Amino acid sequence: MACFQSPTWSIVLAMSQFHQDAISAALAGDWQRAHNIVKDYDDPFACWIHAVLHKIEGDAGNSRYWYAQTAHDYADFADPRAELAAIRQALE
């Protein structure tokens, strides 16, 4: 499944917890744990989180690759923490 495809709502709700765990880890400064959580998933939220993680890391090229798999853009948020908060809100 490509990141840009829309999963069913039941799939999104089931995956919500690992998304939240990845966001919590990232906000706590545990980039590696957050990355380990999302790296094996290709749903739209995982790709978006993955993009933000590489933005935090300073790897703009890799970050832009992951943004290209979503409906979002690298320049949409200047602050990765605010973007992670927006992702968390979108998951609710």
CATH of residue 63? 1.25.40
Using pLDDT thresholds of 50, 70 and 90, give the confidence band for residue 1: very low
Confidence class for position 2, pLDDT limits 50, 70, 90: very low
Q: Is residue 4 part of a domain?
A: no
Range of the domain at 78: 9-91
- Chain centroid to CA 5: 15
Do 18 and 39 form a contact (C-beta atoms < 8 A)? Answer: no
The answer to whether residue 23 sits within a structural domain is: yes
- Domain count within the chain: 1
Torsion of CA 68, 70, 76, 77, to 10 degrees: -110
Token code pair at residue 61: 């090229």
pLDDT tens digit sequence for 31-81: 999 999 999 898 999 999 999 999 999 999 999 999 999 999 999 999 999
User: Where is pLDDT greater, at 75 or 1?
Assistant: 75
Please give the residue that has the higher pLDDT: either 92 or 77: 77
Which residue stretches of 1-92 are H helix?
9-27, 31-38, 44-57, 60-68, 80-91
28 contacts: CB under 8 Å, gap ≥ 6: none
